[in-house]
Amino acid sequence: MFKVLAATREDMNEGWVWLSQHKFAPRSIVKIRNRANNKVVYCEALEIDENFIKEYNQTPRVSICQSDSTMVVNGWYRNRLGGIATKQDHDLEVSEANGFWGKFRASTGHPQVVVRLATWLSVISVGLGILGVCLALK
């Protein structure tokens, strides 16, 4: 269970979430699954530390305590997880996904359209390159 809070204005278009009390390597790609509806997102995970708490705990926001299981998530990822509400606890499962597939999914599900577009254009380019090699070998 994570208490889900809204991201700050600076983080609303970023491809990461802030997590407290996690054991992932710095800037890991994580898979977040909403157990209520099985919707999944892949994104980068940053650790909620003292500096983040000092910046986040400004009025009128809800204060974060470092000992709580808290996740600060922007609207893009909350909507993709099924429109989960902020300031509430949600049954979310977080697992590490640092492999190629996790990084690919994090890029194709990124909040910024330029990142999604660049990822798909690179996939198309690789496919066309492979096709070109195959045609040249015939």
Q: How many of the other CB atoms lie within 10 Å of CB of 128?
A: 10
Q: Which domain holds residue 133?
A: 2-137
CA–CA dist 61, 5 (Å, integer): 9
pLDDT (0 to 100) of residue 65: 77
Calculate the CA dihedral of residues 102, 52, 48, 90 and round it to 10 degrees: -90
CA–CA dist 15, 40 (Å, integer): 14
pLDDT (0 to 100) of residue 11: 92
Residue 8 is part of a domain; what is its CATH number? 2.40.40.50
Q: Domain total for the chain?
A: 1
| Contacting residues for 56 by C-beta, under 8 A, at least 6 apart | 5, 8, 48, 64, 72
CA–CA dist 15, 74 (Å, integer): 9
| Per-residue model confidence as pLDDT tens for the chain (138 residues) | 999 999 999 999 999 999 997 789 999 999 999 999 999 999 999 999 889 999 899 888 778 877 779 999 999 999 999 999 999 999 999 999 999 999 999 999 999 999 999 999 999 999 999 999 999 998
Tokens, residue 22: 């996690």
